[in-house]
């Protein structure tokens, strides 16, 4: 008997893969130590001191399961956003929620529209549940709203994914355009509006809650991983109509949330003064990254996120050489995976010590690879 015959045909046909190569894997494979971890879109400034205090206080209760209804966090988010707790669903990061959304909507062979080169974990879940990806190229380094809408209508797609601000390019659309796109979708198409970087975007890029809250075919996903500095805690949430939000109860892992992570999220949400402070640091670090890029003859793209995409001016082979070369100096960064976006490198914000390492290493790498 084949070792894999016990799996479903779909699972048997899928590759065993991890969508991202993490810095830990690079350290293991290449025998190099990461000194500046500025490649995974984490917030190197970390969470507030009040968050650490809340986790320490809750640590003695770790023997208890987390509340399977996530009542306290849903109530806190509802109050913060000005909605009902019934409009909120909680998950262990947006990645888990994306998988649940695909599971709720997609049957094998169903078309799913997304941008070519956009967040690969969404694609991973679509493949895992047997969906058929329909991709639309970026236009001027932004997701193409008109192209996405045309693809949805052409394919009669039940699901479309759109991130604003965008990963991996850091670009964004204004709120008016996003609302118009959502309202132009067929009511049979569910829109995932991924707002992981909502707190770091410019004024006018984030649709108001009221502008979309009554649309049952719009699911807004947000996270504590980015601006709140809690990527390792894995806390994400959904904003939608009660009927859509409560559908997650049908398929979610009801004991999947970490008790300490929930305490951290509650404390982070309460400490909005720190959020304002850290968003300021993120904006300053973006400017710092841009200045380093320009000093080395590279062009930073405008960014609304906690990273900056930098046009290296050639192709993916050249961009990869920069990524690999920086790792030789202990500076971990990444790059988009799909042409023509892969002409860029992508650098996450971090404290000044990390920026100084980047500033020192980048000209050495460019000289070595023949800038």
CB atoms inside a 10 Å sphere around CB 13: 11
Strand order in the sheet with 307-311: 299-300, 307-311, 344-348
Q: How far is CA 28 from the centre of its chain?
A: 25
36 and 58 in a common domain = no
Q: Which of 368, 278, 367 is nearest to 44 (CA)?
A: 278
Asked whether residue 140 is assigned to any structural domain, the reply reads yes
Is 94 in contact with 248 (CB distance < 8 Å)?
Answer: no
Query: To the nearest whole percent, how much of the chain has pLDDT over 70?
Result: 99
Torsions phi, psi for 24 (to 5 deg): -65, -40
> Rounded distance, CA 310 to CA 366, Å?
14
- Residues 158-169 have a mean pLDDT of 98
- The CATH number of the domain holding residue 147 is 3.40.640.10
- The CATH number of the domain holding residue 286 is 3.90.1150.10
Asked whether residue 4 is assigned to any structural domain, the reply reads no
214 and 351 in a common domain = no
How many structural domains compose the chain? 2
Asked whether residue 91 is assigned to any structural domain, the reply reads yes
Asked whether residue 3 is assigned to any structural domain, the reply reads no
Which tens digits make up the pLDDT trace of 274-285? 999 999 999 999
3-state helix, strand, coil in the chain (%, to 5): 45, 15, 40
- Residues 3-32 have a mean pLDDT of 87
Which tens digits make up the pLDDT trace of 168-213? 999 999 999 999 999 999 999 999 999 999 999 999 999 999 999 9
The mean-pLDDT minimum among 3-7, 115-119, 125-129, 238-242 falls in 3-7
- Residues 21-43 have a mean pLDDT of 95
285 and 363 in a common domain = yes
- Supply the range of the domain harboring residue 225: 49-270
- Asked which of 237, 270, 303 is the last residue of a domain, the reply is 270
Burial tier of 135 (Cβ tally within 10 Å: 0-12, 13-18, 19+):
middle
204 and 97 in a common domain = yes
Q: How far is CA 94 from the centre of its chain?
A: 7
288 and 357 in a common domain = yes
Residue 20: the pLDDT is 86
> Rounded distance, CA 276 to CA 115, Å?
31
DSSP letters, 281-337, are HHHHHHHHHHHHHHHTT-EEPP-SSSEEEEE-SS-HHHHHHHHHHHHHTTEE-B--S
285 and 152 in a common domain = no
Q: At 277, list the tokens.
A: 């402070």
56 and 15 in a common domain = no
> Rounded distance, CA 363 to CA 294, Å?
11
> Rounded distance, CA 54 to CA 263, Å?
6
Residue 17: the pLDDT is 83
Q: Half-sphere exposure of 295 toward its Cβ, with a 13 Å CA cutoff?
A: 13
Residues linked to residue 89 through DSSP beta bridges, in sequence order: 238
31 and 170 in a common domain = no
> Rounded distance, CA 345 to CA 361, Å?
14
Q: Which of 262, 257, 335 is nearest to 298 (CA)?
A: 335
305 and 179 in a common domain = no
Asked whether residue 58 is assigned to any structural domain, the reply reads yes
Q: Is the pLDDT of residue 2 over 90?
A: no
Confidence of residue 1 (pLDDT cuts 50, 70, 90): very low
DSSP-derived pairing of the beta strands 111-115 and 159-163: parallel
The dihedral of CA 148, 151, 156, 157: what is its sign?
negative
- Residues 138-165 have a mean pLDDT of 98
Which tens digits make up the pLDDT trace of 59-106? 999 999 999 999 999 999 999 999 999 999 999 999 999 999 999 999
222 and 204 in a common domain = yes
- Asked which of 229, 254, 270 is the last residue of a domain, the reply is 270
Residues linked to residue 299 through DSSP beta bridges, in sequence order: 311
133 and 97 in a common domain = yes
Query: To the nearest whole percent, how much of the chain has pLDDT over 90?
Result: 95
pTM of the predicted model as reported, rounded to 2 decimal places: 0.96
329 and 241 in a common domain = no
């Amino acid at each position: 008997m084949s070792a894999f015959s016990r799996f479903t045909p779909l699972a048997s046909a899928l590759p065993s893969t991890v969508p991202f190569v993490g810095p830990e894997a690079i350290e293991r494979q290449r025998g190099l130590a990461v000194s500046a971890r500025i490649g995974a879109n984490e917030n190197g400034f970390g969470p507030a001191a009040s968050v650490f205090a809340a986790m320490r206080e809750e640590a003695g209760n770790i023997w208890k399961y987390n509340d399977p209804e996530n009542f306290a966090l849903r109530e806190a988010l509802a109050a913060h956003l000005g909605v009902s707790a019934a409009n909120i669903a909680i998950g262990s990061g947006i990645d888990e929620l994306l998988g649940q959304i695909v599971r709720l909507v997609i049957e094998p062979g169903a078309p799913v529209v997304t941008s070519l080169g956009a967040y690969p974990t969404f694609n991973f879940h679509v493949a895992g549940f047997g969906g058929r990806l329909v991709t639309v190229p970026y236009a001027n380094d932004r997701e193409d709203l008109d192209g996405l809408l045309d693809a949805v209508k052409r394919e009669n797609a039940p699901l479309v994914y759109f991130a604003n601000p965008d990963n991996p390019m850091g670009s964004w659309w204004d709120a008016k355009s996003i609302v118009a796109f959502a309202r132009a979708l067929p009511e049979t198409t569910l829109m995932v509006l991924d707002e992981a970087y909502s707190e770091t975007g410019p004024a006018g890029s984030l649709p108001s809650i009221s502008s979309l809250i009554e649309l049952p075919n719009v699911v807004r996903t947000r996270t504590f991983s980015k601006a709140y500095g809690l990527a390792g805690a894995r806390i994400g949430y959904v904003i939608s109509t009660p009927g859509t939000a409560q559908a997650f109860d049908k398929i979610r892992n009801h004991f999947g949330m970490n008790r300490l992570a929930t305490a951290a999220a509650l404390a982070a949400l309460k400490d909005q003064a720190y959020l304002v402070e850290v968003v300021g640091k993120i904006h300053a670090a973006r400017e710092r990254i841009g200045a380093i890029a320009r000093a080395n003859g590279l062009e930073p793209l405008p960014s609304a996120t906690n990273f900056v995409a930098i046009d290296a001016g050639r192709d993916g082979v050249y961009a990869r050489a920069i990524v690999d070369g920086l790792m030789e100096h202990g500076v971990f960064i990444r790059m988009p995976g799909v042409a023509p976006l892969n002409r860029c490198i992508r650098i996450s914000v971090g404290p000044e010590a990390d920026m100084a390492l980047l500033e020192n290493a980048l000209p050495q790498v460019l000289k070595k690879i023949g800038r």
